[in-house]
Amino acid sequence: MARYIGPKSKIARKFREPIYGADRAFEKRNYPPGQHGFNKRRPKQSEYGMQLMEKQKAKYTYGILERQFRNLFGIASRKGGITGEVLLQLIESRLDNVVYRLGIARTRNQARQLVSHKHITVNGKVVNIPSYLLRAGDVVGVRERSKSLEVVEDSLSSRTNYSWLDWDADKMEGKFMNYPERADIPENIREQLIVELYSK
């Protein structure tokens, strides 16, 4: 499956959650998409169906493809700790996600594009791999020639602070201090269902 570039409201309605952020279309039609929408009687979802739905929700939320997601699960399962929490911590440490969390980009798609177009540095060196996994202490910044980009300035004007990231507005760079605790990650994902799905 290639990366999804279709209508986002439709996906949000499928999961009945605004997984891509505030969405007026989702607020207006808070029911599943399709011809019958609200009135369609849906059969009770199986255990497998719930697990698959949760995995798909996580993939759409973070914009990760199946192979990348499976590889991250493999790394998480080999590490110590609770596999589901470690999986989310690894996903949160991806460069494109950290760029989004720092407020350099408004969406994860925009963050991925900024990284791919070589606007982002890690520890002073340009990195153009969105899936690059950061380690505690890594410094993510905006490249000198890209600091005046209108997209970046607009995004930074409405950024949110997170406990595991430290932002320096003067240098336009942020430090990935440590992996976030599960309670600090705002996404509504039941990671245990994903673990159960991959453990079959």
Query: 81 exposed, middle or buried (CB, 10 Å; 0-12, 13-18, 19+)?
Result: exposed
Q: What is the pLDDT of residue 98?
A: 95
Instruction: Give the whole-angstrom CA distance, residue 159 versus residue 134.
Output: 20
Structure-derived torsion over alpha carbons of residues 156, 160, 165, 170, reported in degrees to the nearest 10: 30
Is residue 166 domain-resident?
yes
Residue 94 dihedral angles phi and psi, to the nearest 5°: -65, 145
Rg for the chain, CA atoms, rounded: 18
Residues 194 and 120 in one domain: no
**CA angle (76 as vertex; 87, 134 as ends), nearest 5:** 70
| Residue labelled with tokens 């997601």 | 69
Is residue 1 domain-resident?
no
pLDDT in tens, the chain (200 residues): 467 666 666 666 666 666 566 656 555 566 665 655 555 666 677 888 889 889 988 988 898 989 999 999 999 999 988 999 999 999 999 999 999 999 999 988 899 999 999 999 999 999 999 999 999 999 999 999 888 899 998 888 888 899 999 999 889 999 999 999 999 998 888 999 999 998 87
- Domain assignment of residue 22, given as a range: 8-90+189-198
Is residue 85 domain-resident?
yes
Residues 149 and 129 in one domain: yes
Helix (H) or strand (E) holding 176: strand 173-176
Tell me if residue 173 falls in helix, strand or coil.
Answer: strand
Is residue 30 domain-resident?
yes
Global pTM exceeds 0.85: no
Pairing status of strand 125-126 against strand 139-142: unpaired
Nearest CA among 46, 48, 47, 49 for reference residue 14 = 49
Residues 6+ apart with CB under 8 A from 26: 9, 12, 13, 18
For residue 72, give the CATH number of its domain: 1.10.1050.10
